[in-house]
Structure 1
Amino acid sequence: MTQTMHPACDKAIAQGAPQQAAGVTRTPHANWVLATCILASSLAFIDGSVVNVGLPAIGQSLSAGGAGLSWVVNGYTLPLSALLLIGGALGDVYGRRRLLMLGVVLFALASVLCAAAPSLGWLVAGRVLQGLGAALLMPNSLAILGASFSGVARGRAVGTWAAVGAAAGAVGPLLGGWLIDTMGWRAIFFINLPSAAAALALAARYVPNELAASHPPLDWRGATLAAAGLTAMTWGLTVASSSSPESSSGGSQAMAVAALGAGAVLLALFVWAENQRGNAAMMPLALFSSAPFIGLSLLTLLLYGALGGLLVLVPYVLIQASGYSATQAGAALLPLPLVIALTSSRMGQLATRRGPRLLLSVGPMIVAVGCVLATRIGGPGSYWLTTLPAMALIAIGMACAVAPLTTAVLASVSAQHTGVASGLNSALARLGGLIATAAMSAVLAAQGAELLALYKMAAWVAAGAAVAAGLSAWMLLKDATGAVKPSN
C-alpha cells in the first residue's frame, strides 16, 4: 500500500508525545532505544510495499481473483487502520515495551503463517494477524521514541527514524521483486523475521516498560464499532467492485448493498459512542471543531487514498500488461521514496517560513497531474517516457505535502490533543488506501485490454481525489493554523 509514505505520516505520533523536562535525553540507552524503534517499525514499512509487487505471483499461485487480491492487501490494512489508536492506548495501560514486543511477536508469527499459507484464505488470515501486530507495535514504537528524547535530540531521532523508514520503503519493493523472481512469493514474508528477532532482543534489554502517568479507560466500544463498521464497508466495496451487473447475480449485489448499509450504521454508532465518551474517546469529536484539522483530515484521507490505490495498481499493471519482472516493477517505484527523502526536509523548512497552506494545496495538485500521466503506464513506450515522468511528478507533489502535513497536524489542535490527533491522521492515511484498494477489485481481476481500460479509469479517479485533497487544504487551512479548544 502506501508504506513508502508511512514514515512521513507517522512521525507526528512521535513528535506529538508529551514533552519531557529540559535536557537532551531521559533514557540511559537512547541510541539502542532508537534502533529498537527503527527495527520494529521497519516490519510494517517493508512488508506492505513488498506485498504490492507480489500480487501477480500470489494471484497465479493461489488462483486468486480480484476480490481475493484486494483482501491480501486490505486484510493487513483493515485492522491497522481500525485499531491503531486503541493499540497506543493499550500501551499506556499495560506498558509500551510489553505491547511493542507482543506486536512484534504476533507480526513474526503471522509472517510465518503467510509464507506457509496453503490457500488464499490462510494467507488473508495471516495478513489480518500481521495488521493486528502492526496496530500494537507501530503506535507504541513511536510513543517510546517520542518519550525517550527531548528538545533537539528528539528532532534528530525522529528524523533518523523517518529517513531509515523511507530507505526501507525504497529497498522493500526492489528486494521483494528479486526474491519473487528468484525464490517465489513466499520468501517475501521471511524477510521480516531477522528484524523481528533483533527488535525483540533490543527491546528486552534496553527499553523500559513505562506506563502512562494517567489515562482514561480503554474505549473498547469505540474500537469494536470502528473495526466492525470498516470491515462491513470494505467487504461491501470489494464485492460491489469485483462483480459487474452483467456477470453477477442480483444476490451478490444485494449483499454488497446490505454490507455497505450495515457499515454505515456501525460507523454512525461509532461517532455516537465517541460523542458520549467526550475526551475519553479514542477519537474525541472535539478535534473536529477545528476547521484546519477537518481540512487536514480530508486531505490525508483523499491524498493517501489516491496514492495507495495507485501504488497497488502500478506494479500490477507493469507486470501483467507490460511484461516487467517483479524486480523491474519494484525498481520502477524507486523515484517516489528517493525524491521524498531528498526534498521533504527542505519543504518542511519552507512550510515553517511561509505556512503550510500553499504547499498542502499545490502538492496534491502536482500529484493529480502525475496521476493523469500515469494513465500512460502499461501502454506503448519505454519506462523513461511513461512510468518515470508520472512517478517523478507524484513524488514531487507528495514531497510538498508530507513534511508540512506533519507540522500542520500538530499545530491544528491544542496540546492535550496532539497525541490522538497525530494517531488519527496516521490511521486516516491507511484508511484512504483501504477504501481505494477495496474499490478496485475489478481492476485486479481484469486482463489484457480490459485491465488497461479499468486501470486508466482508476488513475483518473485518483487524480480527482488528489485535486479534492488540495482544494480541502486551500479552503479550510490558514497560514497560521488554529487550535482546538479543549472541551469540558
Structure 2
Amino acid sequence: MTRRTAYPRVYFELVFIGFASILGMGLIGAFLPILAKDLDPTGNLVGLVVSAWFLARVFIEIPSGFISDRIGRRRLFVLGIALSAVGSFLCAVAPSIYFLIAGRAIWGFGVALFFLNNTAILFDLFDPAVRGRAIGTFQGIEMVGSLIGGPIGGVLAGVIGYNTVFYFTSALTGLSLVLVFTLHDLKGLGGRAPVALERISLRAALSSLTQWPIIVVCLICLTRMLIMNGLMSTVFQLYLYENLGFGVTLIGIIVGARTAGTIVATLASGHLSDRFGRKRIILLGLVLEAPCLYAYTLVSPFETVLLIGFVDALGAGLTWTTLTVLLSDIVQPEYRGVALGFYRTFMDVGGILGPIIFMAIATALSPYIAFIVGALLLLSMAGLAMTS
C-alpha cells in the first residue's frame, strides 16, 4: 500500500464511516441501562448488558489482528460493520433482557473487528511523519459523534421510544456497509495483506509482542482504561452527586466539558506528537491528568470542578491517541494487526475491571482514596514510559 503524506479521499470516507459508527453507539448511551432495567426489573442482568460489549471483544482482538495481517484488512473490516448492524437490529427487536445482551455482544464483537482493522488501515495508509495528525483528526471527529449522540438519542427515545432508536443506529451502520461496497476507493482498500503471506507465522507474530516498548504501551493503555471506565465513568459521577451535592444537570455540564476537552486534545495530539515526538506528548498527558485527579478531592465549587474536568480531559486526550500512534511506530508493518489486537485486549480488560476495582475502593475506603489511587497509577505509568 502506498504511504501518504497528504489526506487522500478514502481517508474522509473512512472518517465518515467511523463517525457514523460512534454516533450510532452514542445514541443509546443516555437510556441503555434504563431499557435494560425495564426488561429485567430485578436488575440482576443490567450490568451484563453493559459488560457483554467488552466480554465479547476481549477474546477475539489478538486472533482477529493476526488474521488481518494474514489475509488483509478489508474482509474483517466489512464483517465488523455487518455484525454491528445485526447486533443493533437485535437490540431494536429485543423482547427480553437475554436478546438485548446477545445483541450487545454481537454489536461489540463487530465494533471490535471494525475499529481494529480501520486503525490498521490508517497505519498502513500514512507515512509516520503525518500518521499522528491523521489518526488524531480521525479520532477527534469520532468523538464529536459521541458528544452529540447522547443528547440526540435521549430526545429520540422520549419521542419514539427506546427500542426504535436502535433502528436509527442499525440504519446508520447499514449505510456504512453500502458505502463500503459502492465507493470506488473503499472497494479496493485493504484487500491484501500488507506483506507477503509466507512471512507471517503465529509464533513470529506472538513473539513480536514481547518487545518491552510494546508491553509498556499496552500497560499504559490498560491503566488509562481502568481510570476512564472505572473512575471517571463510574465513581466520578457518584462522587459529584453524593459527596459534592451536584444535581444531574450540573453533572451533565461537567461531563460535557470533559468530552470537549478530550476532543480538543485528541485533535491537537496528532500534530503535537508528529512535531515533538510521541513519548513527550504521552508524558505531558499523564503528568497533566494525574494532579487533576487528586485536585478533585480538594475542591467543591462547581466552577472549579468544571475547570479541572476540562484540564483533566486534555491530559487524557493527549495520551490516548498518541499511544496508538506510538504503537504503529514501534511494531513491524507485518505485525500491526496482531499488535493492535494485543493493545485492544488490554483496553478491553481495563474496561471490564475498571468499574469493579474503583467501585470496590470507593465503597470499602472512600471516593477520595479512589482518586488518589488513580493519580498514583498515572504517575507510575509516566515513570514506566521513561523506561521504553
Q: TM-score range by the shorter chain?
A: 0.7 to 0.9
The match for 2:285 is 363
The correspondence for 1:294, drawn from 210, 215, 220, is 215
Gapped regions of structure 2 (runs ≥ 5): none
- 1:420 paired with 2:351, answer no
Residues 36-81 of structure 1 deviation map (CA, whole Å, 9 limit, x = unaligned): 4234433553355554432552354234566533222211122223
Residues 394-426 of structure 1 deviation map (CA, whole Å, 9 limit, x = unaligned): 212213423442343334445554443344323
> What's the CA shift for 1:104?
1.5
The match for 1:85 is 62
- 1:342 paired with 2:319, answer no
The one-letter amino acid paired with 1:394 is D
After superposition, the Cα gap between the structure-2 partners of 1:365 and 1:462, relative to the gap in structure 1 and judged at 3 Å, is: farther
The one-letter amino acid paired with 1:61 is D
| Aligned counterparts of 2:383 and 2:290: Cα–Cα separation in 1 | 15
The match for 2:151 is 174
| Aligned counterparts of 2:238 and 2:32: Cα–Cα separation in 1 | 7
Residues 427-486 of structure 1 deviation map (CA, whole Å, 9 limit, x = unaligned): 32232112113557889xxxxxxxxx74994574354144223313314525xx5xxxxx
| Aligned counterparts of 1:332 and 1:279: Cα–Cα separation in 2 | 46
After superposition, the Cα gap between the structure-2 partners of 1:24 and 1:370, relative to the gap in structure 1 and judged at 3 Å, is: closer
> What's the CA shift for 1:392?
1.7
The correspondence for 2:204, drawn from 261, 268, 279, is 279
| Aligned counterparts of 1:216 and 1:78: Cα–Cα separation in 2 | 32
| Contact map agreement 1:293 1:412 (CA 8 A) in 2 | yes
| Aligned counterparts of 1:464 and 1:126: Cα–Cα separation in 2 | 35
The match for 1:211 is 192
| Contact map agreement 2:133 2:267 (CA 8 A) in 1 | no
Gapped regions of structure 1 (runs ≥ 5): 1-18, 220-276, 444-452, 482-488
| Length-normalised TM-score, structure 1 | 0.64
- 1:162 paired with 2:127, answer no
The one-letter amino acid paired with 2:192 is L
The correspondence for 1:472, drawn from 367, 381, 384, is 381
Identify the range of structure 1 (138-147 vs 99-108) with the bigger mean alpha-carbon deviation: 138-147
> What's the CA shift for 1:183?
3.9
Q: Counterpart of 1:105 in 2: which secondary structure?
A: helix
| Aligned counterparts of 1:295 and 1:374: Cα–Cα separation in 2 | 28
> What's the CA shift for 1:171?
1.5
| Aligned counterparts of 1:287 and 1:104: Cα–Cα separation in 2 | 27
> What's the CA shift for 1:165?
0.8
| Contact map agreement 2:21 2:172 (CA 8 A) in 1 | no
After superposition, the Cα gap between the structure-2 partners of 1:63 and 1:385, relative to the gap in structure 1 and judged at 3 Å, is: farther
| Aligned counterparts of 2:175 and 2:385: Cα–Cα separation in 1 | 44
The one-letter amino acid paired with 1:334 is G
| Aligned counterparts of 2:141 and 2:384: Cα–Cα separation in 1 | 34
The correspondence for 1:406, drawn from 324, 327, 341, is 324
| Aligned counterparts of 2:366 and 2:26: Cα–Cα separation in 1 | 23
| Contact map agreement 2:140 2:264 (CA 8 A) in 1 | no
After superposition, the Cα gap between the structure-2 partners of 1:60 and 1:287, relative to the gap in structure 1 and judged at 3 Å, is: closer
| Contact map agreement 1:69 1:441 (CA 8 A) in 2 | no
- 1:436 paired with 2:346, answer no
After superposition, the Cα gap between the structure-2 partners of 1:308 and 1:39, relative to the gap in structure 1 and judged at 3 Å, is: same
| Aligned counterparts of 1:346 and 1:49: Cα–Cα separation in 2 | 23
The match for 1:45 is 22
After superposition, the Cα gap between the structure-2 partners of 1:144 and 1:476, relative to the gap in structure 1 and judged at 3 Å, is: closer
The match for 2:2 is 20
The one-letter amino acid paired with 1:208 is G
Aligned length in residues: 380
The one-letter amino acid paired with 1:211 is R
> What's the CA shift for 1:138?
1.8
| Aligned counterparts of 1:21 and 1:36: Cα–Cα separation in 2 | 17
| Aligned counterparts of 1:121 and 1:431: Cα–Cα separation in 2 | 23
> What's the CA shift for 1:134?
1.3
The one-letter amino acid paired with 2:204 is N
Q: Counterpart of 1:53 in 2: which secondary structure?
A: coil
The one-letter amino acid paired with 2:323 is L
| Contact map agreement 1:357 1:473 (CA 8 A) in 2 | no
| Contact map agreement 2:131 2:270 (CA 8 A) in 1 | no
Percent identity over the alignment is 23
Q: Counterpart of 2:2 in 1: which secondary structure?
A: coil
The match for 2:248 is 324
| Aligned counterparts of 1:119 and 1:329: Cα–Cα separation in 2 | 31
The match for 2:227 is 306
> What's the CA shift for 1:133?
1.2
Please report the RMSD computed on the Cα atoms of aligned residues, expressed in angstroms: 4.0
After superposition, the Cα gap between the structure-2 partners of 1:174 and 1:66, relative to the gap in structure 1 and judged at 3 Å, is: same
Residues 108-144 of structure 1 deviation map (CA, whole Å, 9 limit, x = unaligned): 1211211222222221111101011112222233334
| Aligned counterparts of 2:349 and 2:88: Cα–Cα separation in 1 | 22
Identify the range of structure 1 (141-150 vs 160-169) with the bigger mean alpha-carbon deviation: 141-150
The match for 1:58 is 35
The one-letter amino acid paired with 1:127 is R
| Aligned counterparts of 2:155 and 2:297: Cα–Cα separation in 1 | 26
> What's the CA shift for 1:389?
3.9
| Aligned counterparts of 1:181 and 1:303: Cα–Cα separation in 2 | 34
The one-letter amino acid paired with 1:307 is M
| Contact map agreement 1:367 1:396 (CA 8 A) in 2 | yes
| Aligned counterparts of 1:51 and 1:85: Cα–Cα separation in 2 | 28
| Aligned counterparts of 1:319 and 1:58: Cα–Cα separation in 2 | 22
